[in-house]
Structure 1
């Protein structure tokens, strides 16, 4: 049984949302029950992003060399295992190990899922285009100019479809977060740790479903395609991996727009990591200090549900905008300016969370930060995918993910230390400043191209 790649790609977004929703009971367990310090919370995040930093590019290269489908399937199986085992013990070392395992799972699908979808849609479109060309072969008006024009139109339509699907994937991720939050809140009111284990088992079940239903007709391993004399398996695979890695790195360095997106993603990810780990502590200090773990699950479940619901109309607007735009330089310039605006809005929300002495304003700032950040993340992925060459698409998108991991390690851990040694508001305010700084690279590229 095989399903349409666009629908399966949207399903993957829902499963991603489920994995993100696991953070609700995990955060409540860490903050309320285990009473982890700001530094230990930041250390858990650092363990996660260090893993992503080390494994992001290798897993992207493996997906480009062997199979993007089975890379995605393995990703959700590994993440589900980490989610299910997360609440088994309260030992901090074990918590770090589960974060490392979750990070490995995340990198297995990061880049590979988008590359798989893009190739499957291109394969389907190429077959449809060839069928239409055969019907026109005997027409007196058919010719090379007409075929070239049809190819350009088909390519533009394909790019629009892919951009729209990337944003729809983010919309389904928000829906998955909402569904996961409802499940986590209901089961978390009974047992926070039981909720974490149950959500991990659901992710493993999703991996099994994808293994059966995902096609992979649009991908051919470069090692099978190369032909020629047989080589030793280990040597050939290693050489191919190095070649693809170098090619992806060259493209990131030589394409100004892709380089700007990568730099912006690195800075913004560091600010996001600090807010992701420390925002709950800030809200607890402002008015939630007396909540039990069940009450905290209910409160944060409701807050995250509302923020996910607010992100959906923004994602829908972004999808329509990308589907209407042409794949030209002016469109890229407009996208860069839009990304800068979203990052600036996120900076405003982060500063409100950090500096406001009133709980309601801090909560509103947290919501603004979350919605703007999610939209900026989706736009970043669409822009990176558009500039990547088909043969190294998973590798290039993984480069962007790796740059985010670099920022999370360098900036996120540093802000965790600031929160521990100076104060929580100062660390969160610095994160807001980093959000504003992250808009600078894409603004510079937009002005140069303009």
Structure 2
């Protein structure tokens, strides 16, 4: 594990603060936006689902060019571009209420993430240049992300409650634009070497090298498949859980926004604790078993949510899934990928991982959500639990050793 002095490195401090702030802003923004889309814009369930699907499709195709940009031009520039697009989309959301315009802002918001997914991890890994501590730094960043999310839910939720939802949305977007200035000022880029030859030729080379790395690595293919499965399960569970809890009787008095904000905050804080407790088992020989165990916990929690007898039991089940299964599998997959790639294609390889996430959400998530209308909500959630269980089995099956 890293010493405490490792976390006092200026680059690590800047990275952890940026991670915390970005998470607080985008999670708090999304809490308010999810209510704004329903209560202020009056979108129908089909329109809400369509926004998510279209957003994922655009992000899916944007990941690879964005990752290649980060590996050939600049990781820092990619992060700044991400924050500018993100802040612009966030502000735009609070200024419009028509479905076409909201669809456009959400597509831009989804595309903005493609420029940072992988670029942030590639930047801190290569600029810090400390392979002995990077796993601990990424685990610390995952905890900062969850803690920031909990803070964002509370602060921006309270701001929207005290003022107006559209005002809170615009203010969050404006703060995200200021975060781009923070990156310009605090993030250095001294170890990155931009491509010297033609950008198009260099980009194709980076992409091909990334594909070649995945093709010859069974470990990478395994984690990509696991990521697709578990994101299908998580996306479906996330879409269906609020409806299931309402059907079970939540909220038990009071405003539903307060209840769901509280449950979300508790889940995030449990995630911080879970990552801290697992600690040394996030990488190396323990990573596979830790991932399989977390997926199995997700299967059990989702099954409990599916057949919960009351709202309290269902709420506990949701916290188990959102606080243990989802954050642990995500941080392990990030560390897993980071340890099995090289500096020159690091952002591109992480973009492949993000594509696996989007594919899982588009296929598994949307399919299970659609099935809910045919077989009912509990059985649809049971299908989500089955995806978690399949992921656990995938990670526990050991590849036979090659003959000597």
Q: Does the alignment reach a TM-score above 0.5?
A: yes
The alignment status of 1:55 with 2:55, answered yes or no, reads: no
1:432 Cα deviation after fit: 1.5
TM-score by length of 2: 0.90
Report which stretch shifted further, 334-343 or 192-201.
Answer: 192-201
1:291 Cα deviation after fit: 8.1
CA distance in 1, matches of 2:22, 2:132: 23
- In structure 2, do the counterparts of structure 1 residues 163 and 67 end up closer, same or farther at CA, with 3 Å as the change threshold? same
Within 5 Å, which residues of 2 pair with 1:338-349? 338-349=290-301
Within 5 Å, which residues of 2 pair with 1:210-359? 210-223=183-196, 236-288=198-250, 295-322=255-282, 331-332=284-285, 334-359=286-311
- In structure 2, do the counterparts of structure 1 residues 68 and 363 end up closer, same or farther at CA, with 3 Å as the change threshold? same
Q: State the match for 2:6 in structure 1.
A: none
- In structure 2, do the counterparts of structure 1 residues 438 and 246 end up closer, same or farther at CA, with 3 Å as the change threshold? same
Q: State the match for 2:357 in structure 1.
A: 404
Structure 2's unaligned 5+ residue stretches are: 1-8
1:34 Cα deviation after fit: 5.5
CA distance in 1, matches of 2:183, 2:242: 34
CA distance in 2, matches of 1:429, 1:34: 32
Q: State the match for 1:13 in structure 2.
A: 19
Q: State the match for 1:192 in structure 2.
A: 165
- 3-state DSSP of counterpart to 1:218: coil
1:249 Cα deviation after fit: 1.0
Report which stretch shifted further, 350-359 or 259-268.
Answer: 350-359
1:390 Cα deviation after fit: 1.4
1:424 Cα deviation after fit: 2.8
TM-score by length of 1: 0.81
1:264 Cα deviation after fit: 0.3
1:193 Cα deviation after fit: 2.7
RMSD across aligned C-alpha pairs, in angstroms? 2.2
Q: Which structure's relative contact order is higher, taking Cα pairs within 8 Å and 6+ residues apart?
A: 1
What is the number of residues matched between the two proteins? 391
Question: Is the contact between residue 341 and residue 349 of structure 2 (CA under 8 Å) also seen in structure 1?
Answer: yes
Within 5 Å, which residues of 2 pair with 1:377-416? 377-416=330-369
1:37 Cα deviation after fit: 4.8
Within 5 Å, which residues of 2 pair with 1:84-95? 84-95=91-102
Question: Is the contact between residue 68 and residue 207 of structure 2 (CA under 8 Å) also seen in structure 1?
Answer: yes
Structure 1's unaligned 5+ residue stretches are: 123-157, 227-235, 326-330
1:439 Cα deviation after fit: 2.3
- In structure 2, do the counterparts of structure 1 residues 429 and 91 end up closer, same or farther at CA, with 3 Å as the change threshold? farther
Q: State the match for 2:3 in structure 1.
A: none
- In structure 2, do the counterparts of structure 1 residues 318 and 446 end up closer, same or farther at CA, with 3 Å as the change threshold? farther
Question: Is the contact between residue 46 and residue 409 of structure 1 (CA under 8 Å) also seen in structure 2?
Answer: yes
CA distance in 1, matches of 2:209, 2:359: 20
Q: State the match for 2:5 in structure 1.
A: none
CA distance in 2, matches of 1:93, 1:282: 29
1:414 Cα deviation after fit: 1.5
Question: Is the contact between residue 256 and residue 445 of structure 1 (CA under 8 Å) also seen in structure 2?
Answer: no
